[in-house]
Chain A
Amino acid sequence: KDQVFQPSTVASSEGAVVEIFCNHSVSNAYNFFWYLHFPGCAPRLLVKGSKPSQQGRYNMTYERFSSSLLILQVREADAAVYYCAFPCAWGSQGNLIFGKGTKLSVKP
């Protein structure tokens, strides 16, 4: 049963601001995590938190059941799969539930 929802694809052009949206249906989740995955490489954590935050060109918005990842001045090299994730239960021992990922394509 799907609990995390994010678009399967997002297209953009170089220099634009890209927004990737995610929402979930789990009442006791309290944090969002955004991971970046280049196929063939290890996924890595971009931003996280329970409030809006910024890490370089990556901004994260936060609301109770949704979050957006904003990528500023997007580049062709940003083309990858972006996953949102959140802890599966309050006080969980560490399991994250991942969305199915959003594949970002960037036109020059």
Chain B
Amino acid sequence: GAGVSQSPSNKVTEKGKDVELRCDPISGHTALYWYRQRLGQGLEFLIYFQGNSAPDKSGLPSDRFSAERTGESVSTLTIQRTQQEDSAVYLCASSLPPRTYEQYFGPGTRLTVT
């Protein structure tokens, strides 16, 4: 079946602009995660959704970052007033409880802030 998809695959934006990154999880997966991977760094947890609610937003680096999820499907990660340090690959993953930790990842969105 279809895996996790993300769009766009690449995004170049100017500093100060807002960007929206989209994630389509595997159908039926109620849990959804956003991660960030900066150049040369590991995966950094940003936010987790169970259904529509986000019980863990602890990883969001600043109030410029927000995310929402519609139903138990699409999620959007929004970065306002982008900064150069926001340049990274943003990865989305989904899973189906009770096998919550078996996360299926999308290919990521490469964001470059110039």
Residues B40-61 near A (CB distance < 8 A): 41-45, 48, 50, 55-56
Determine if A31 and B101 form an interchain contact, defined as CB atoms under 8 angstroms apart. Answer: yes
Q: Residues of A within 8 Å of B, CB-based: how many?
A: 22
Question: Do A96 and B56 form a contact, CB below 8 Å, given A41-B107, A42-B107?
Answer: no
A45 — which chain B residues lie within 8 A by C-beta?
102-104
Determine if A42 and B42 form an interchain contact, defined as CB atoms under 8 angstroms apart. Answer: no
Alpha-carbon gap, A95 to B11, bound state (A):
27
Q: Residues of B within 8 Å of A, CB-based: how many?
A: 27
Determine if A93 and B43 form an interchain contact, defined as CB atoms under 8 angstroms apart. Answer: no
Return the contact of B108 from the options A31, A42, A83, A85 (Cβ within 8 A): A42
Who on chain B is nearest to A43 by CB?
Answer: B105
Determine if A33 and B101 form an interchain contact, defined as CB atoms under 8 angstroms apart. Answer: yes
Determine if A48 and B102 form an interchain contact, defined as CB atoms under 8 angstroms apart. Answer: yes
Determine if B45 and A44 form an interchain contact, defined as CB atoms under 8 angstroms apart. Answer: no
| B95 touches A (CB below 8 Å) | yes
| A97 touches B (CB below 8 Å) | yes
| A56 touches B (CB below 8 Å) | no
Determine if B55 and A93 form an interchain contact, defined as CB atoms under 8 angstroms apart. Answer: yes
Who on chain A is nearest to B44 by CB?
Answer: A98
Residues A54-102 near B (CB distance < 8 A): 83, 85, 87, 93-101
Determine if A94 and B31 form an interchain contact, defined as CB atoms under 8 angstroms apart. Answer: yes
Residues B56-114 near A (CB distance < 8 A): 56, 91, 93, 95, 97, 100-108
Who on chain B is nearest to A102 by CB?
Answer: B42
17 contacts between A and B (CB under 8 A): A31-B101, A33-B101, A42-B105, A43-B43, A83-B43, A87-B101, A93-B31, A93-B48, A93-B50, A94-B97, A95-B33, A95-B56, A96-B45, A96-B101, A98-B44, A100-B42, A101-B42
